[in-house]
Amino acid sequence: MQCLICDSLLSDNGRDYVIDETMFRIGQSFRYRECEQCGSINLAEKISDDTKLYPDNYYSFSVDPAETFNGFLPRLLASAMAKSSLKGNRLFLGFMFRYAPMREVRTLASILLSISAAYSGSVSKRILDVGTGSGVLPFVLSLAKRSYTLGIDPFLATEKKAKHFELKQASIQDIHETFNLILFNHSLEHMHDIEQSLAHAKSLLEPGGTIIVRIPTVSSQAWDTYRENWFQLDAPRHTCIPSRKGLTQLASSCGLQIMNNYDDSTDTQFWLSEAVAKGLSTMDATTGYTAYLTNTHSRQKKRSMKREARKNNSEHRGDQTVLTLRTT
Ligand SMILES: [Zn+2]
């Protein structure tokens, strides 16, 4: 078995981890092996077809964007965020990432911030969102009316076509049109052919085009601290959680250059991993843990977790990172 990131053989000397499925607590655990060469953690067993990995209440599919942004104010806000992102304006998005009261809005802001960071003076006219879920990002970007975004997901239930966005049930390998910007928002780590998928994405780039990868990483304080309870392991949906060394090797083996790299981890790395350690499910709404504002941590603890996340990001020790890639 090969490491999905650096392609070296996963030897028997590599350290093994047994990791519980914690999103739905289906009562199964899965074996992962550390790559001795690059340090990435790879799923080391076959998943049976009976394991329903992406049920209807899987978080990326449970939000209907048209419904969420139906009201005047949410739509106005989302449209302003999309315009800021496509113009490369970071101030407003940075504010939303830090202070928006809803976690979903902060997450959206961090995705839009990654797009604005890749902005190079020209508008990204054609955007591909790989692993789009229910299509929140293509929908939000369409509100700016400046671009066309195709959202693809192999588990998409309803396809959609509008002027500024489209949603298709597809994998990256099914796509043959070209794009100015291709996004992997926490989707690359779900694939069984990571290197081939990234290499194929590269072949779809217009000249001067950009790929953005947002991905969890084991080169982080959260992995070192929480290990099997780190919530971003997401066994067995994540086929591989890369190290930073592995990501550098992956980019270079795909003929891509890392133009920019920063961490955008949040306080979630602490409180959700602590919830997992207590045996809770990351999706169980009744625990109150999925709703950060209604959980029981003191204000002081919340403030210190946010501070700790910012410190981790500044030291490249956050539990998720953002890579901007261009053709070498
Ligand atoms: Zn490796």
**How close is the Cα of 193 to the center of ligand 1, in Å?**
13
**How close is the Cα of 30 to the center of ligand 1, in Å?**
19
**How close is the Cα of 248 to the center of ligand 1, in Å?**
11
**How close is the Cα of 77 to the center of ligand 1, in Å?**
41
**How close is the Cα of 222 to the center of ligand 1, in Å?**
20
CA 179 to chain centre: 20
Helix (H) or strand (E) holding 19: strand 16-20
Residue 208 identity: G
Residue 71 identity: G
Residue 244's alpha-carbon distances to 88, 143, 320, in angstroms, are: 26, 34, 10
Encode pLDDT of 228-279 as tens digits: 999 999 999 999 999 999 999 999 999 999 999 999 999 989 988 988 898 8
Say if pTM beats, i.e. exceeds, 0.85: yes
DSSP letter string, 144-162: TTS-EEEEE-TT-SS-EE-
pLDDT at 221: 98
End-to-end, the C-alpha distance of the chain in Å comes to 29
The residue behind tokens 């077809």 is: 49
- Under the banding of pLDDT at 50, 70 and 90, the label for residue 317 is very high
The Cα–Cα gap between 116 and 89 comes to: 6
**How close is the Cα of 246 to the center of ligand 1, in Å?**
6
Q: Is the peptide bond between 74 and the residue preceding it cis, with omega within 30 degrees of 0?
A: no
Answer whether residue 3 shows pLDDT above 90. Answer: yes
- What superfamily does domain 55-327 belong to in CATH? Vaccinia Virus protein VP39 (3.40.50.150)
Around ion ligand 1, residues with a beta carbon closer than 5 Å are 3, 5-6, 35, 37-38, 40, 246
**How close is the Cα of 1 to the center of ligand 1, in Å?**
11
**How close is the Cα of 7 to the center of ligand 1, in Å?**
6
**How close is the Cα of 36 to the center of ligand 1, in Å?**
7
Encode pLDDT of 178-232 as tens digits: 999 999 999 999 999 999 999 999 999 999 999 999 999 999 999 999 999 999 9
Encode pLDDT of 45-73 as tens digits: 988 776 677 776 676 777 788 888 888 99
**How close is the Cα of 82 to the center of ligand 1, in Å?**
36
**How close is the Cα of 311 to the center of ligand 1, in Å?**
27
**How close is the Cα of 224 to the center of ligand 1, in Å?**
18
Encode pLDDT of 70-127 as tens digits: 889 989 999 999 999 998 889 999 999 988 887 778 889 999 999 988 776 666 689 9
**How close is the Cα of 140 to the center of ligand 1, in Å?**
36
SS3 213: strand
Average pLDDT, the chain: 90
